[in-house]
Amino acid sequence: MSEHDLSLPSLTPPAARLAVLRQAEDAAGCCRQPVRLRGWKREHDPATGEVIAAVDSSDQPGGYLLIPCGNRREQVCPPCSKLYKGDTYQVLIAGLRGGHGIPEDVASHPAVFATLTAPSFGPVHRGPRRPGGQPPQCRPRRGRPLCEHGMPMSCGQRHEHGDPAIGQPLCSKCFDYAGAVLFNASVPALRDQTTQETRRQLAATLGLSQQSLRRHLRVSFGKVIEYQRRGLVHVHAVIRADRPGGAADPAPPWAGTRLLRGAVLAAVTTPAITLPHPADPAAVITLAWGSQADVRVVRRDIDGELDDHKVAAYVATYAVKGTEQTGGIPVPIRRLSDLDDWKATGHVRRLITACWQLSHRDEYQSLRLARWAHQLGYRGWFSTRSRRYSVTLSG
């Protein structure tokens, strides 16, 4: 029986099929690939020993229990990802507005919304700058110059949203695929460095040591990773200033949004990861955030501004995305030839191939590029939060 086959040959249809479908809908929440369990569970009253709840897979249609797979990716299981998206929104909005045990006074804490992007690894086709907006000319250039491989380095078209050309390199031979996947693999370290540097910048601005800062101020955050159409990841982060107690401890009066925003903007220019150069073992490649960092103050209930609801909804949307925006694949591969089973774009194939080739080199073994080739080298969590930011997904 296949993983998605809910038919039961040993029972009489259509009543059997109806029973299984009802079980999938009620117990597994219409999950596309529910987990099948066999066994039993009893709950007893600790005082009397009386059985107060019991469940047995043998009493269920087909002799097993169905529970949701819990996969966060919209491409893999839309019902489970919809639930995950809603839960992520609640975690984020609670850290900005309160609720779920977080006091409403947290809305008075300074908060900013930061977007950290990847640098350029080669020119790609560009689409609309915002959803529903008029797309500009892609890359207009006088004289229509050619690259060293004879490919045009200009494009006068206006690529509408959904155009498959968006994110594809103007010249695949000019695009630095090795550098791109090494950047993706370095994002977790860059993200951690940025968090530490934000605290250091705050301490320097206030004339305090970092140890003294921890006695007066805490930086809390919720972060989500997004894949751009060019296959590079960038980070969306909600960053909040508290006293050491966290969400229930209002920030000091001197810790305003101007101070927090300035510290974050200064922090994103410092982090850098140095690795052996993929083309020259005697040289190194330095990987850092792109120059287009965007840090904006989060407002509360102000029409036309970047308010807390818009921020939480925007970030939660990307918590359920994977590489599908780039034309990627949703599962790991065991060998490079497995790519033939998927309709990946040529650009994604080259990124995955770069991961696979670099994974065989000793200097990149710690990055586990083959294991994370389907994620184009990125190997971290897609959604993270600091301990004192808000509630947990299970809370």
Q: What pLDDT does 36 receive? A: 81
Q: In this structure, is residue 354 part of a structural domain? A: no
Contact 236, 315 (CB under 8 A): yes
Contact 99, 248 (CB under 8 A): no
Average pLDDT, the chain: 86
Residue range(s) defining the domain that contains residue 278: 78-121+166-330+380-385
Q: In this structure, is residue 185 part of a structural domain? A: yes
Number of domains composing the chain: 2
How is residue 302 written in tokens?
Answer: 């102000």
Q: In this structure, is residue 19 part of a structural domain? A: yes
Based on the domain organization, do 275 and 212 belong to the same domain?
yes
> What does pTM read for this prediction?
0.85
Based on the domain organization, do 174 and 286 belong to the same domain?
yes
Q: What pLDDT does 304 receive? A: 52
Q: In this structure, is residue 391 part of a structural domain? A: no
- From the list 347, 339, 352, the residue with the least C-alpha distance to 378 is 352
How is residue 288 written in tokens?
Answer: 């850092």
Share of the chain above pLDDT 90, in %: 53
pLDDT tens sequence across 353-365: 999 999 999 999 9
Based on the domain organization, do 44 and 63 belong to the same domain?
yes
Give the list of residues 6+ apart from residue 105 with CB closer than 8 angstroms, or none: 98, 248, 250
Give the list of residues 6+ apart from residue 43 with CB closer than 8 angstroms, or none: 51, 52, 53, 54
Based on the domain organization, do 103 and 54 belong to the same domain?
no
Based on the domain organization, do 20 and 115 belong to the same domain?
no
Q: In this structure, is residue 144 part of a structural domain? A: no
Q: In this structure, is residue 101 part of a structural domain? A: yes
Based on the domain organization, do 58 and 171 belong to the same domain?
no
Residues 361-380: what's their mean pLDDT?
94
pLDDT band at 79 (very low <50, low <70, confident <90, very high): confident
Answer yes or no: is pLDDT of 392 > 90: no
Give the list of residues 6+ apart from residue 3 with CB closer than 8 angstroms, or none: 33
pLDDT tens sequence across 269-304: 999 999 999 999 889 999 999 998 899 999 876 555
* DSSP-derived pairing of the beta strands 51-56 and 65-67: unpaired
How many Å separate Cα 372 from the centre of its chain? 14
pLDDT band at 82 (very low <50, low <70, confident <90, very high): confident
Based on the domain organization, do 109 and 258 belong to the same domain?
yes
Residues 196-212: what's their mean pLDDT?
93
